[in-house]
Amino acid sequence: MARPVASDHEDKRHAILKTAARIFADEGYGRASMAQVAAACGISKANIYHYYPGKEALLFDILDSHLRELRDRIVGQEFASNDPEQQLRATVAELLVAYEGADAEHAVQLNAIHALPEAMQEVLRGYQRDLVRFVAARLRDIASPALAADRTRLRAITMSVFAMTNWHYQWDAGADQAERHAYADLICDLITGGLHGLG
């Protein structure tokens, strides 16, 4: 008979994910151990294996949960305007707000994704591709026809947006939502100004 799932299973799983993300970010995935995660969670090493068969599965669940939720949050937005520039501003602001409180997960994504097997990485890259396509579509609608048709340059501009958002936690991790919105506007001023100039 299968062991019944405890009523607080998801709460405990979420706590394990948050704690493990912090440990993997602080210690480095290669140096961190399941025993460290269990101790930080206040559970036995044996108990943590009821949730994850090993460190690799734990790493994948951290990144799968983080990136899937981020993808769904960004791609699932309902915009108040059909103006692509306003949509870009809303999207960049939503990205930065979504990152609040997820600095550890974000650091693990940037530094440890390559420790996973290729098949797991491909699942995670699928979420990333969805995000890139979504932002690229907003930029394409703002750009001149010639620039919109230049896939190489448009991709470089798209990835520049992610570079400015993805590394924000390194210098302003404590930013509140108002500060994140202000920085989103700064990014969009730079990007849209450049798009109009290139046009």
Confidence check: pLDDT of 6 > 70: no
Confidence check: pLDDT of 44 > 70: yes
pLDDT of amino acid 7: 56
Q: Which domain, by its residues, includes 92?
A: 56-198
Please indicate, yes or no, if residue 167 is contained in any of the structural domains. yes
CA pair distance 34, 175, nearest whole angstrom: 31
Please indicate, yes or no, if residue 18 is contained in any of the structural domains. no
Which CATH number is 63's domain given? Answer: 1.10.357.10
Q: How many domains does the chain have?
A: 1
Please indicate, yes or no, if residue 170 is contained in any of the structural domains. yes
Please state at what angle helix 55-75 crosses helix 84-99, rounded to 10 degrees.
150
CA pair distance 135, 192, nearest whole angstrom: 13
What pTM was estimated for this model as a whole? 0.88
pLDDT of amino acid 175: 86
